[in-house]
Structure 1
């Protein structure tokens, strides 16, 4: 059975007065773990990793590892300076993590051969499984199908977070048997699970977490009518989560629940009053 199955939450990084709120982070992790998520993804795009220094990223990881079993923790590893990225990777790998979530280097837009070389280099340097994060609208790098299939043939690359928006590529990955597919577009979770995805990395699952876990279990157990009904109940929540740039709506919802504050780091902005009002209406149902 795959280590990367079920609902994984790319946890937000709480802030208070501009600094990392570790007390809030602890409270949030407890809230998620009691809902039986499969695991926690640290320092992802939802975790505002790009706004954290490398020192802060390691501090968040170390804090999470105090409270979450290591086999349930995956660390984000992103950057466009490959030498520096590999140095940071070696620092991360001094910690006991279940894997690394790695996107293509952003802004550079390497060739297909460059993408293959990049992921081969990262995978060769890794002592833990690598999850390829395919998200072209953030990185500017688009994988051709042949490139993806070549990359995931590497023994260390064991899963793909699929945000590529290319159904043909998704189907090819699922059919290959080389890699587990984790849905990364929350609105596509039901479709992806029915097609054979092993789980999802879902920012939306910060809220009504137990319903996302139930959705995965229902599809796993072939209770598709129940799963469909669960998904349609979750649809308004998922749509609200992405009304404005992630993770502002996530933090707004968690703040209304009293779990953490709603602060983000500039240039990210807190959710608008329209989003807050939408959450107030949804969460009172």
Structure 2
């Protein structure tokens, strides 16, 4: 089975009085490891990397790696400066990450040929497996099916975090079989798994992670009725945690559970009263 299966949690970056709260971060990693998740994502969208200085990003990744132990960790890579992205990939090659999660260059909105060049050039440099991050509502450009299938031929491109919202594309990728398909829109977790997807990178799994793991295991074992019942019970939570831009609602929920402070970097809105 590919490493890129099961439930992965894209870990939030906790803050305390404006600084990264590493004690809370270690606590979160422990909680998710105990819940049986398949892996963690550091510095994905949910981790607010665009609001972190480079040194803060490095420190967050170091803390997650140290606390995760044998649990695999994906490192998010995003930006629109080619030289900086190449430098980041070279840096990550030296770290014990399980892979890199790479998005399209934001704001630029390159052509599909430009996207192929972007991902291929970074995959060529990477010594780690690559997970494509197709999230057009953040980058401004979608990876078309033909582009995804072209990139699937690269030996280090092994999976896709699928946030494009197209069931046709999701199914086509699953049927093609070369890329592990991880649901990225949490509400599509159930249908992606039922169609044969390999898992999810789910921000909602910060809350009740053991239930998300149970959902995956039930569907993987063919227990459809059990899986459907779990998903139906989780659907209101998923909708609530996606009601405002990520990670605002997730952080508010974690703060309500006493795991972190309800603190975001600008320009995200505070959702829980101080």
Question: What TM-score, normalized to structure 1?
Answer: 0.94
User: Aligned partners of 1:143, 1:189: CA distance in 2, in Å?
Assistant: 20
1:107-139 CA distances to partner (integer Å, 9 max, x unpaired)? 001111100001100100000100000000000
* Cα displacement (A) at 1:156: 0.3
The reply to whether residue 218 of structure 1 matches residue 218 of structure 2 is yes
Instruction: Describe the SS at the equivalent of 2:229.
Output: helix
Instruction: Describe the SS at the equivalent of 1:40.
Output: strand
User: Aligned partners of 2:65, 2:148: CA distance in 1, in Å?
Assistant: 31
The reply to whether residue 111 of structure 1 matches residue 114 of structure 2 is no
* Cα displacement (A) at 1:270: 1.2
| Correspondence for 1:67 | 67
Give matches, 1:122-271, under 5 Å.
122-271=122-271
User: Aligned partners of 1:144, 1:42: CA distance in 2, in Å?
Assistant: 26
User: Aligned partners of 1:82, 1:53: CA distance in 2, in Å?
Assistant: 18
* Cα displacement (A) at 1:44: 0.6
Please tell me whether the aligned partners of residues 33 and 71 of structure 2 are also in contact (alpha carbons under 8 angstroms): no
Please tell me whether the aligned partners of residues 58 and 92 of structure 1 are also in contact (alpha carbons under 8 angstroms): no
User: Aligned partners of 2:57, 2:230: CA distance in 1, in Å?
Assistant: 35
* Cα displacement (A) at 1:142: 1.5
1:4-45 CA distances to partner (integer Å, 9 max, x unpaired)? 110000000000010100011011111111101111100010
User: Aligned partners of 2:163, 2:132: CA distance in 1, in Å?
Assistant: 10
| Correspondence for 2:43 | 43
Task: Rate the CA distance shift 1:97–1:119 in 2: closer, same or farther, 3 A.
Answer: same
User: Aligned partners of 1:83, 1:173: CA distance in 2, in Å?
Assistant: 30
User: Aligned partners of 1:71, 1:93: CA distance in 2, in Å?
Assistant: 18
* Cα displacement (A) at 1:268: 1.1
Please tell me whether the aligned partners of residues 70 and 97 of structure 1 are also in contact (alpha carbons under 8 angstroms): no
Q: Could you tell me which runs of 5 or more consecutive residues in structure 1 were left unpaired when the two chains were aligned.
A: 277-285
The reply to whether residue 14 of structure 1 matches residue 17 of structure 2 is no
Consecutive aligned runs of 4 or more in structure 1 exceeding 2 Å deviation: none
Question: What TM-score, normalized to structure 2?
Answer: 0.98
